[in-house]
Amino acid sequence: MRRIVGALIVLAAAVFHRAGDLSHYWIPVRGAVSPPPAAIASERPAKRSKSGRAGQEVPPDFRRNPLIFFSSAPKDSLVLLPGVGPVLADRIVSARTGKRSFTRWEDLLAIKGIGPKTLERLKRLAEAANP
């Protein structure tokens, strides 16, 4: 009997640990005065959209000529593009050092992390920025 109870306790602990935020498990108890802990629910980070920074303006240099932007922009400016995070910006900067600049969109495919979908998204962003 003790083994069964112990196994149930371990199972319950694993379920609660896997759930992370326990605020949705709060069950009101008759006579309880305090509401569920709101601090737990408010500490969760806000979910980001799939594109990352929806609604944010692209850098003005990207609007003028996107390929020159990729060839010369610092990491801080590259991170402003949707779908380009700090790691991918580092890879872009390291790929262009010691080499010639990017002259075709397909040159960006050589960078790990930029695949056909990301390249297409960046092309569409460039077309939208230059109507």
Parse the chain into domains and list their residue ranges. Answer: 60-129
How many other CB atoms sit within 10 Å of the CB of residue 84?
23
User: In angstroms, rounded to a whole number, what is the distance separating the alpha carbons of residues 110 and 118?
Assistant: 12
**By percentage, how much of the chain surpasses pLDDT 90?**
8
**At 1, is the pLDDT very low, low, confident or very high (cuts 50, 70, 90)?**
confident
Q: Report pLDDT digits (tens) over 4-15.
A: 887 878 777 666
> With 90 as the cut, is the pLDDT of residue 87 above it?
yes
CATH superfamily of 60-129: Photosystem II 12 kDa extrinsic protein (1.10.150.320)
Contact 42, 23 (CB under 8 A): no
Sign of CA dihedral 108, 114, 115, 116: negative
User: In angstroms, rounded to a whole number, what is the distance separating the alpha carbons of residues 44 and 53?
Assistant: 18
**At 37, is the pLDDT very low, low, confident or very high (cuts 50, 70, 90)?**
low
Q: Report pLDDT digits (tens) over 53-68.
A: 444 577 888 888 888 8
Radius of gyration of the chain (CA): 24
pLDDT at 41: 47
Which residues 6+ apart lie within 8 Å of 58 measured at CB? 80, 81, 125, 129
